[in-house]
Structures are given as C-alpha cells and as structure tokens.
Amino acid sequence: MNGVVAYMLLITDTGKEYDIINEVRKISGVTECRAVYGEFDVFIRIEVADFVSLDEIVTQIRRVPGVLQTTTLVASP
C-alpha cells in the first residue's frame, strides 16, 4: 500500500477494553486491534489512503465511549 500506516495506543476506562475493541474493529481502515498489557490498554493498526482519512478515523476512535487518552504514531514510508 502506498498510503498511510499508523498505530494508535489507547488508555481506556478499566473493564471497557473489549467493548472498545469490538467498536473499533468495525471501522474501515482498521487492520488490527487488540488488548495489550502495560502502560496502554489497546493497540490499533490503521491503513488508509491519505492523511484526511487518517484524521477521520482517529477522530472516530477518540469518540468511542470509554476511550480516555490516545497516542497516534505515523509509520515512516
């Protein structure tokens, strides 16, 4: 893919991880979403055509109930 690959790390309300994962997996462009242990609660991989699409997905994920904080990392080409 010649588009944009990004990773999101989420901090969530305790016990809401799997509800959030189920919602995020429905979003087009999300290629991986799983619970993780450590500082963050959820790991997400996103593949999209452009930064406009990435911005839309990031905004959509931030609005999922139970998401407290996000960190977005854009992969180097």
Hey, what domains does the chain have and what are their CATH numbers?
4-74 (3.30.70.920)
The model's pLDDT over 7-23, given as tens digits with 9 standing for 90+, comes to 999 999 999 999 999 99
> CB–CB of 33/24 below 8 Å?
yes
Query: What are phi and psi for residue 5, nearest 5 degrees?
Result: -115, 130
Q: Is residue 77 very low, low, confident or very high in pLDDT (cuts 50, 70, 90)?
A: confident
Q: Residue 8's CB: how many other CB atoms inside 10 A?
A: 23
pLDDT for 1 equals 58
Query: Rg for the chain (alpha carbons), in Å?
Result: 12
Mean pLDDT (whole number) for 64-72: 99
What percentage of the chain reaches a pLDDT higher than 90? 96
